[in-house]
Amino acid sequence: MKGSHEAFWWSLFSAGGVIAAMLIPVLVFVTVVAPGFGWGVFVDAMQYDRIAGLVGHQLVKAILFVSIWLSFFHAFHRIRHLILDMHVSVPGLPLAVLNYALATAGTVSAALVLWRI
């Protein structure tokens, strides 16, 4: 039974890993790095009206929700294993529950904020 649970978390980890690999770097670049350097075309692109219009599209919302959901589960699954690999003295079950609860909280938050746009 434990093995099947682990297979479930590893499948979310893998799917989230692929999505994070494809999407997160370019999002970091366009939302933080390029505007931070003051590159005009990206500063203009991030203005409220333009981004609200783009993210308001239902397809974009769906893509963002799935991407955030799976990326959160990827990240917190890996953080759980990183903590165990670093030999931090913490019981396995509470650590797993905490990490997947944080991933779930992030997913629910994503659903709520996307719903409000």
**Residue ranges that bind another protein, judged by CB under 8 A:** 14, 17-18, 20-33, 35-38, 41-42, 45-49, 51-52, 54-55, 60, 64, 68, 71-72, 74-79, 81-82, 84-87, 106, 109-110, 113-114, 116-117
Least Å distance between CB 80 and another protein? 9
Least Å distance between CB 95 and another protein? 14
Nearer to another protein, 1 or 26 (CB): 26
CB 35 within 8 A of CB 42: yes
